[in-house]
Amino acid sequence: MSSGQADVTSQACSHLSGSDDAAERISAALARIEMLDSKINAFTALLPGRAAKEAAAQTRERQGSDSPIAGLGYAAKNLFDISGLTTLAGSATHEQNAFAKADAEAIARLSRAGAVLLGATNMDEFAYGFTTENACFGSTRNPHDLTRTAGGSSGGSAAAVAAGLVDFALGSDTNGSIRVPAGFCGIYGFKPTFGACDLRGVFPFIQSLDHIGPFARSAEVLEEVARVIADKPHTSLCLDADKVDGGLRVGILSGFFEKNRSLEVEAASEQLFSAFASAQRVALKDVGKMRSAAFLMTAMEGGRRHAGALRDSYDLLGPSTAVRLSAGLVLPDELKAKIGDVRRRFQEQVARVFEQFDILLAPSIPCTAPKLGQEMVMLGGREVPARASLGLMTQPLTPLGTPIVAAPIAAVSGLPIGIQIMGDIGRDATVLAFARHLEKRGLLASAAVPDLGKTP
């Protein structure tokens, strides 16, 4: 085992069995999932046979492996094709579909790197939501407070990582579906540059917004997994360890991002931002307009994609899914050009901002995790609909296609709170290195794995 590999394994698995034997660790992880998952409902399928085979191979081969993630156990949102499983995409309408014949490209890459797939995780139906309250497969609960949402749509993946059931997990992010659950669950999540990952074998939602990426409990594991699943090679980046900002030009998004947050998020994020004495505030224009454009784009394209399910299987769809997709389906085509104009202008504006900054910071969530079923939340001193508002911080940024790490703020009392670390397009290595830098300085840290019961 290389020293880099040992570091990553120790960071990923400190909460699991201390064994260096992949087969033993994976077996213990599966036993822990079987014992504890009923409390959080993160998984929709377990793969003990496949996991045992992959782990045994790692135990045999690991001595000579230089992959830092070899032997780590992970889960994948159930919209990734997994050979021998039906790709549910969170929908009862898919339950009778044939098994996937091959793994999604990201999973195939992780297998080649020696990671061990333990199971598939719960999600909002068709990835359309921020709460993983699934009418068919049940709600995923937040490991830090079982009465609250884990976020969505990749809520099962985030909850599994936060509960210490897996070393890392894969999710997808179309409007914030990695960043929102990472924030609510107190872990790291990464949305790479748009197009950086091969999406073959991933059930699509909105093609011009779909991203895939990892969740992890450390910035280092996050980066190592991102290196495996991304197409573009990452370059190593050395930041100035003596400076809080690492020698980078840091901006803090203001305006919309300050006005639409809860008091808890304001306090925690401002405390973190105060560490960056020389950082400037950046007020982007038309953030709300961009958010509405993303909202409409999602409804419109989602409705058109699922018109067949609305026609043939309306009653099998979750009630809120059917209503939202139906409304989106009848939006006029004329909107496409208007949405495109807003998106292009916003992209041009942010490209100019990135001439002056390397990193832009903003909260990843507008409030802490609401209760499951909670209808309203308080943001900026106003009561607003909860489910629609949970993506307020992420949704306007997704159409930029920029790389963003969602990271947990250290030493938050109470429920977890996170930030977004955004770089310019293609600067994936910069945002990942910056997250690692802040973690080393103690400004970022995953929430402690909660005690959900006995560990086998």
Partner 1 sequence: MESWLLKPNVAKALNAHGIDPGAEEIIKISAQYSLLMEHIELLLGETGSPDTPPAPGGQT
Active site residues per annotation: 77, 153, 177
329 touching partner 1, by CB under 8 A: yes
Asked if residue 130 binds partner 1 (CB under 8 A), the reply is: yes
Q: Is 293 in the site for partner 1 (CB under 8 A)?
A: yes
CB-based contacts of 236, cutoff 8 Å, min separation 6: 429, 433
Out of 129, 155, 183, 423, name the contact with partner 1 by CB under 8 A. Answer: 129
Can residue 327 be called a binding residue for partner 1 (CB under 8 A)?
A: yes
Residue 398-427 contact track with partner 1, rule CB under 8 A, x = bound: ------------------------------
Least Å from the CB of residue 345 to partner 1: 8
- Taking CB under 8 A as the criterion, the residue among 28, 163, 221, 339 binding partner 1 is 339
Burial class (CB in 10 A: 0-12, 13-18, 19+), 356: exposed
255 contacts partner 1 (rule: CB under 8 A): yes
* Under rule CB under 8 A, residue 263 binds partner 1: no
Rounded Cα–Cα distance for residues 209 and 104 (Å): 18
Choices 22-30, 199-207, 338-346, 407-415; region in contact with partner 1 by CB under 8 A = 338-346
Q: Is 426 left (phi over 0), alpha (psi -120 to 50) or beta?
A: left
| Distance in Å, CB of 396 to partner 1, minimum | 9
Using the rule CB under 8 A, give the single segment among 70-78, 81-89, 253-261, 424-432 that binds partner 1.
253-261
CA separation for the pair 128, 130 (Å, rounded): 7
Nearer to partner 1, 167 or 258 (CB): 258
CA distances from 109 to 60, 99, 101 (A): 19, 20, 16
Report the residue number, 58 or 154, with the smaller CB distance to partner 1.
Answer: 154
Where do contacts with partner 1 occur on this chain (CB under 8 A)?
128-130, 175, 255-256, 259-260, 283-289, 291-293, 295-296, 298-299, 307, 310-311, 314, 320, 322-324, 326-332, 334-335, 338-339, 342, 345, 379-380, 382, 384-385, 387-392, 395
